[in-house]
Amino acid sequence: DAGITQSPRYKITETGRQVTLMCHQTWSHSYMFWYRQDLGHGLRLIYYSAAADITDKGEVPDGYVVSRSKTENFPLTLESATRSQTSVYFCASRRALNGGWAQYFGPGTRLTVL
């Protein structure tokens, strides 16, 4: 049961560069999510996807682009990285439980923009 994997785990880039963070899940869950975690903010939703080719904005979408051509992959692209996008990024998918459900998270990507 591999779950959710994210790559790279660590990335350093420069202002203005394009960066893509990868997310892959092995469960075939329909819903997938991207969050960022910053000190003093907890986790904030960037984008989510209900299924392949269906995506929608979350709380903090500016500066990010997503795509979902296959159910198992949900990449997040920073088109022109800025210092304010330095953060830890978590991908998640929604999984049914007995009588409920939960989001399951990948290990995260720590991104530093210089």
Contact positions toward another protein, by CB under 8 A? 4, 31, 33, 35, 40-45, 48-50, 56, 58, 90, 92, 94, 97, 99-108
Whole-angstrom distance, CA of residue 25 vs CA of residue 86: 24
Q: How far is the CB of 80 from another protein (least distance, A)?
A: 25
Nearer to another protein, 27 or 105 (CB): 105
Count how many residues are written for the chain: 114
One DSSP character per residue, 35-74 reads: EEEETTTEEEEEEEEEETTEEEE-SS-TTEEE--SSTTB-
Nearer to another protein, 2 or 40 (CB): 40
Q: How far is the CB of 7 from another protein (least distance, A)?
A: 13
Nearer to another protein, 69 or 99 (CB): 99
Q: How far is the CB of 106 from another protein (least distance, A)?
A: 5
Q: How far is the CB of 32 from another protein (least distance, A)?
A: 9
Give the angle subtended at the CA of 15 by the CAs of 114 and 92, to the nearest 5°.
85
Which tokens in the block code for residue 98?
């007995």
